[in-house]
Amino acid sequence: MKAKLRALFRERRDQLSIEEREQGNQQLVSRTLEVFDKVITQASMGVYYPQGSEASIQGLFKYPYRFYLPRIQDFSNARMGFYLTDFSNLEKNKWGIFEPPANAPLIDGLSLEILFIPLLAFDSKGGRLGQGKGFYDRYLDRFTGKRVGVAYDCQFFDGDLPMEEHDHCLDLVITPTATYLF
C-alpha cells in the first residue's frame, strides 16, 4: 500500500510545472515566515536541501538564521545528524543529496527547535508518508521540537495514511495555500 501511495504522490508532485513549483515555493517561504514570525530569528532550524520536485523553502536560506542540514552518518542503519551550514560548501553524497561537510558543527538532536521535513504525502491527522528509508523517523525518535512538514497542496491525502509503529506524525504542515495544525 505505501509503495503504491509513494508512486502516486511522487507522480502528482512531478506533474507540477516548473512555474507552479516556483510559485508554490515562494508561497511556502511567505507562509513559513508568517507562521514562525516571532520565533524564527532565534530558533535553531533543521532544514533539508530539496531533491527533484520536492517542495522547497530554499528562499529562507538567504536570511541570517541558524540552519542545520542533515548529513547521512550511517546509511545501512538510516542514521543522520544535523550540521550547521551557511550553504556555501555543500557536498553531494553518493546518492546525489547535498550535505554539509563532515567537519561542520553537529547539533544535538534535542537542541533543534524546529525541523522542516520533506514528504510525499500527508493526511488530516498529521500522518506523513516519506521516501521509505526511515531516516527522518529514526531522527524523530529523539527529537522534541516542532515537526513541520513542507508540501504542495497536491500532496494532501484525503483519508488516513497507513502508519506503522515506527512512523511519526507531524505537528503542522505548511503548503502554499494552507497551514494544517495537528
Mean pLDDT along residues 96-122: 89
Query: What are 96-105's pLDDT values in tens digits?
Result: 889 999 899 9
Query: Which residues span the domain enclosing 21?
Result: 2-181
Burial category of 164 from C-beta neighbours within 10 Å (exposed 0-12, middle 13-18, buried 19 and up)? exposed
pLDDT band for position 76 (cuts 50, 70, 90): confident
Question: Which amino acid, one-letter code, is at 78?
Answer: A
Residue type present at position 33:
L
Which contacts qualify for 35-40: CB closer than 8 Å, 24 or more apart?
Answer: 35/172, 35/174, 35/179, 36/114, 39/113, 39/114, 40/65, 40/114
Categorize the per-residue pLDDT at 141 as very low, low, confident or very high, splitting at 50, 70 and 90.
Answer: confident
Number of Cβ within a 10 Å radius of residue 30 = 13
State the pTM of this model.
Answer: 0.91
Q: How many domains does the chain have?
A: 1
Q: Could you tell me the CATH number of the domain that includes residue 172?
A: 3.40.50.10420
For position 78, what pLDDT does the model report?
65
| CB 176, CB 153: distance < 8 Å | yes
User: Cα angle at 70 between 173 and 63, to 5 degrees?
Assistant: 70
What mean pLDDT is reported for the chain?
Answer: 90
